[in-house]
Structure 1
Amino acid sequence: MVVAVRGRTVPGNRWDLLADVPAPPPRVTVVVTHYQQPRELARTLRALARQDHPADLLQVVVADDGSSEPPRVPAGVMVVTHVHDGFGAAKARNRGAAAATGDVLVFLDADTTPEPGYVSRVARLPGLAPEVVTTGRRRHADLSGVPTDADVEVAGPAHELASPTWLRDELAWSRDLLDADETSLRLVLGAVVSCSAAMFAAAGGFDETFDRYGGEDWEWAHRAWTHGALLAHVPEAVAWHDGPDRAERPGWGTEGEGRERLLAETLAVGARIPAPGLGPAGLSPDGAADPLVTLDAGLGGDALVVAVDSLLAALPRARVLAMPEQHALLLGDHRVVVHPAGADHLAAAPARTAWRRLHLHAAVSGPPAAWTEHADLLRGADAAGHVAVTRGGAPLVTWSTLRAERRAARWGREDLHPRLARPASGLTVVGGDVTVQARWGGWR
C-alpha cells in the first residue's frame, strides 16, 4: 500500500531544487519526548515559546514516557503520557504524533533545546515537499549550571562541548545529505528529526519494540527512505543537547556496561534493518529481509524449484512471495511466504523493511555473482531505481528499489529515478528437460 500525499516532489534526492521556491509557513506540531527531566524540559519549552515561527501555526506536545511526576508545562502546551514500562521513546513519540494537528511534525528530546529559528528552518522543506525528512544540527553544551531562562543561542556557544567528528565528516561528505543513499539513515537523529505528517503515516510510526536506548531513530529513517523519503540536513537549524554525545563518554562501546549496551543496540538494529553495513552477512533475521522476491505467475514445476534454490543460495536473506501452488513446491522454507495472486507485494510483511525487489520473469539459475552482478546499480547516491537484466531483449530478472516503486505509485511518474537495462552474463534459463533430481544430483 502506498499512502497518498499532497504537494510537490523532485527527482531523486534533489531537495536543493526547492531552494528558491516560496514556502509559506506550515502548520507545525513539535513533539517533545520527555522522561524525568523537568529542568531540561523547562529550558526547551521556554525556547519553543521564543520561536520565530508564527505562534498560531505552532502546536507543542510533550510526549512523556511515564515520568514519576507529571511534567509541568505552560498554558497551551499539551501533555500525553503512558505507563512507564522500560525505555519508551518510540512509544512516546508515537503518542505525541497521534495528538498532532500540524501538517509537519518536529521531534525534539527534552534535553535538546532549539535556537529561535529552529522550527521555521527545519520545517520548511517538509512543508513544501511532503516526502522530505529533515534533520537539524545537534550541537552539545554543558548547560547543567546555566539558568533555564538563559537564551540558548548565547549559553550554548559559551559552554560548548565537542560534537562527534564522524557525524560532522559524514554530513560534509554527503553535502548535507544531498548525496544520501540507503546507508544515510545513520545520520538521522531522532532528537532533531522533522517530517510531514503524511510521510510519518506512510512510513509508519517508530518501532515500539525497541526497549533500550538507541536505534529506533535509524530504523524509522530506514523505513522512511524505503517509503520514498528524501533526506536533508539543515545546518542552520541548531538545537543544543545538554551534555556530551554518548560516544564521548568514558568507556562507551569499549568496556563494561558501555560495551554491553553497544552490542545490544547493534543487534537490535541488525535484526530490523537490512541496509548495507548494518546487519549480518549470513544470519537471516525475519525482521531484516532483503531483497523481496516476486515470481512470475507462470513459473512452476522443476524449473521453479531450481530457480528459487539457486536464487536463495546467492541471496540468503531474501524473502520470496509465492502463490499457494508455488509455495507448495518449495519445501516449507521459512524464507518463502504465501502471497495470493494479484495481491500487492508492497503490502506484504517483508516489504515493511526490505529496500530492494527482485522479480523473476523466467526460471533462471546461475552462480551467486550472476544473481547480484547488477544489484550494485541500486546502491549509492543517484542510484538507479529500476534495472532490467535481459537476454536477447527479453527480461530475465528485474531489480528495483521499493523507494522508487512507491514514489512512482504515489506520483504517477516513472522519471523520479533512473531506469536501466543491462544484459545478463551468467544467468541461464532452466530448460524444460531439466529435473530437480538431475540438478541436485549434479549431472545437469
Structure 2
Amino acid sequence: MVTDNTPRTSHAVTANRWDILGGLWPKPLPVVSVVIAHFEQQSQLDRTLLALERQTYPNDFLDMIVVDDGSRAAPSVPAKVRLIRQEDRGFRLAAARNAGARAARGSILCFLDADTTPEPDYVRELTRLPSLAADAVTVGMRRHADLSATSADGRIELIAPNHELPAPAWLTREYERSSDLLEVDHRSYRFLIGAVLACSRDFFAETGGFDESFTEYGGEDWEWGYRAWLAGAVFAHVRNAVAWHDGPEWSERTDADASRQRRKNAETLKLTQFIPARGSAGRGVRPPTADLLVEIQSSTSSAALFICVDSVLESLPHAVVVVPGNCLDSHFNDPRVVRRADAGERPLVRATVAFPRAVRVDPEVFRREVERVASGSGDAADVVVRDSSGSILCEIRSVRARRRSARWQRDGLFPTVEVVADWVIALDQEPDLEAYLGGWS
C-alpha cells in the first residue's frame, strides 16, 4: 500500500458547526491508518484485530499498525498488519501513538488501544468528518464491558452488551448537554479520549502530535486536545462509532479510593503546567506560560501606561502585557510586563488583545468580554470596541479563529462583533495617578 495523498474536497466549517456536513460522505474514500497501542494484551489485541477485519469500511482502505510499548515478547499479528516495537522504558503511550502516526500511510488517523474493540461501523462513522473537514477531531462512543470470560472471536456488537459495565456518568452528561460537542468551549478537550480518537494525518502533524513527556497513565490525550483546540480544531462526538473497552471506567476500578485519587491529582497537576486556561490552571498560582497576550501600542505618558497595564492585570492576572519598547522602565518591575522584542512566541495563548493607545478598563467587564472570546463559547470570536466617535479602543481576537481562518485562507468562519462601550476609557490627557491608586477616580 502506498501513502494516500489523493486530492479530495475538504470543507471549511464555521465555528464548531460540524452538523452542516450531515449526510455527506467522502469521495473517493481515504485510506485510514488504524494505530493500535499495545502492551502485554495478546488476547485483547486478537479480538480488536478481528473486529477490524469485520469493519464495513472497505478492508483494502485500512492500514493497520500495532505499536507495542515494550512487551516482553512481540505480539502476534496477521501478515497484513504492520508491527512497530519500542523498547520498554516505562509507560510511553504518547510515544507509541506518535510512532504509529509517523508510519501511517493513510490520510486519516484512527487511534485505538488493544483493549478497545470497535463495532462494525466504527471506522466508517468515526472517520467521516475528518475525511470531509481536514481539521475535524472526532471521538467515538467508548462503552465498557467485562469481556474476560468471552471468546475473542465473537462478534463484539452481540457479546459486549450482555456484559456491559457502567459508563462514566459525567461524560455521558456532557455529551448530551453539548449535543455531541456541537456546543464547545476551551475546556472541551476533557471530552476527548485517546483510545477512540480520529483526525487527519496532516492536522495531527501540524499540532506536533502527543507530548512524549507524559510517561504515566492519563493526560496525554487532553493535553493534545487542548493544542488541537487552539489550532482551530472542530470537535465532534460520534455516538454511532461504538468501541468497547474491556474493563471498567477509571472511576469504577477497584483501587483504593485514596490511591486512585492521588494518581488523578498527579495527572491534574501535570496538566496545570501545560494548559494555562481559566478552569484548568491554578486560580492564584501562575502557570508557566501565558494564557492571554495584551499589547499596548502607544501611550501619551508613563502614568497613562501604568494605569492601562495595572487595570488590565487586575482583570487578567495570568496575561502577559507587551508595552512599547521605550516605555519599559523601573515602574514595571513585573515579569508579566515585557517589550515587544522580548515577548517571544506564546503558543498556548487563547486570545490576543490590542490597545492602539493607553486606556483604563473596567476590570470586571473587560475580563468578561475577553473570556467571551477566549473561551470560544460566546457569540463572537473577535470583538472590536469603539468609542462614540468610532475610534478603535480595543480589539480582542481569538487565536483559535485566526488559526482556522489562516489554514483555509478564508475570513468569516467565526463572527466578529463591534461594540461601542463605556468600559474602556482612552487616557489621551495626563491622568491623575494618585486618584486612580487611591480609588477616588
Normalised by the length of structure 1, the TM-score is 0.89
The Cα shift of 1:48 comes to 1.6
Aligned counterpart for 2:353 among listed residues 334, 350, 358: 358
Identity of aligned residues (%): 42
Partner of 1:335: 336
Classify 1:10/1:440 alpha carbon distance in 2 versus 1 (closer, same or farther; 3 Å): same
- The amino acid across from 2:280 in the alignment is L
Shift of 1:171: 0.6
* 1:383 and 2:379 aligned: yes
Counterpart amino acid of residue 372 in structure 1:
R
Counterpart among 208, 219, 223 of residue 219 in structure 1: 223
Does residue 234 of structure 1 match 2:238? yes
Q: 1:349 to 1:147 in 2, by over 3 A?
A: farther
User: Which amino acid is the alignment partner of residue 195 of structure 1?
Assistant: C
Find the counterpart in structure 1 of residue 401 from structure 2.
Answer: 404
Size of the aligned set, in residue pairs, is: 430
Cα shift readout 1:53-79 (whole Å, capped 9, x = no counterpart): 222221111222222322222112222
Q: Distance in 1 between matches of 2:380 and 2:352?
A: 13
Q: Which runs of 5+ in 2 are unaligned?
A: 1-7
Assess if the C-alpha contact under 8 Å between 1:13 and 1:382 holds in 2: no
Give the aligned partner of residue 320 of structure 1. Answer: 321
Q: Identify the residue that residue 266 of structure 1 maps to in structure 2.
A: 268
| Number of the residue aligned with 1:88 | 92
Of stretches 242-251 and 317-326 in structure 1, the one that deviates more from structure 2 is 317-326
Which residue in the other structure is 1:257 paired with?
A: 259
Contact 2:356 2:393 in 1 (8 A): yes
Gaps of 5+ in 1: none
Cα deviation code 1:102-156 (max 9, x no counterpart)? 1111011111111121111100110011111111100001011222222211221
Q: CA deviation at 1:325?
A: 4.3
- Looking at structure 1, the residues matched to 335 and 219 of structure 2 have their Cα atoms a distance apart, in angstroms, of 26
Match of 2:208 in 1: 204
Match 1:142 to one of 143, 146, 153: 146
For the Cα contact (< 8 Å) 1:377–1:387, is it kept in 2? no
1:195 positional shift: 0.6
CA distance in 1, matches of 2:181, 2:341: 39
Counterpart position of 2:24 = 21
- Between 298-307 and 243-252, report the one with greater CA deviation: 298-307
Q: Residue by residue, what CA displacement relative to the aligned partner does 1:298-349 show, whole Å, maximum 9, x if unpaired? A: 45861434322331222111123456545566746333455449xxx9xx53
**How many angstroms apart in 1 are the aligned matches of 2:21 and 2:237?**
14
CA RMSD of aligned residues (A): 2.6
- 8 A Cα contact 1:364 1:396, kept in partner: yes
Which secondary structure state, in structure 1, belongs to the residue aligned with residue 195 of structure 2? helix
2: CA distance, partners of 1:77 / 1:156 = 25
State how far apart, in whole Å, the 1-side matches of 2:11 and 2:331 are: 44
1:439/1:82 CA distance change after superposition, 3 Å: farther
Once the two structures are TM-superposed, the CA of residue 230 in structure 1 deviates from its matched residue by 0.7
User: In structure 2, how many angstroms separate the alpha carbons of the residues matched to 1:206 and 1:238?
Assistant: 23
Distance 1:330 1:55, change over 3 A: farther
The 5-angstrom pairing of residues 403-442 of structure 1 reads: 403-434=400-431
More displaced stretch, 73-82 vs 234-243: 73-82
Residue among 164, 172, 186 paired with 2:168: 164
Alignment of 1:90-169 (within 5 A): 90-169=94-173
Displacement of 1:406 in angstroms is 1.0
The amino acid that maps onto 2:315 is A
Residues 1:10 and 2:7 are matched in the alignment: no
What secondary structure sits across from 2:30 in the alignment? coil
Contact 1:6–1:130 (8 Å) recurs in 2 = no
In the TM superposition, what is the alpha-carbon distance from 1:236 to its structure 2 partner? 0.8
| Structure 1 CA distance for aligned equivalents of residues 175 and 163 of structure 2 | 23
Q: 2:82, 2:323 → 1: CA distance?
A: 47
Aligned to 2:309: 308
Alpha-carbon distance in 1 for matches of 2:103, 2:236 = 25
2:46 aligns with 42
Instruction: For residues 373-406 of structure 1, give each alpha carbon's deviation from its aligned partner in whole angstroms, at most 9, with x where no partner exists.
Output: 4224324646311011221222222112111111
- Contact 1:251/1:259 (8 A) holds in 2: no
Match of 1:55 among 51, 59, 78: 59
Rounded Cα–Cα distance in structure 2 between residues aligned with 1:307 and 1:247: 47
Q: Report the Cα distance in structure 2 between the residues aligned to 1:119 and 1:109, rounded to whole angstroms.
A: 14
Cα deviation per residue 1:242-275 (whole Å; 9 max; x = unaligned)?
A: 00001112466xx321121121112122222234
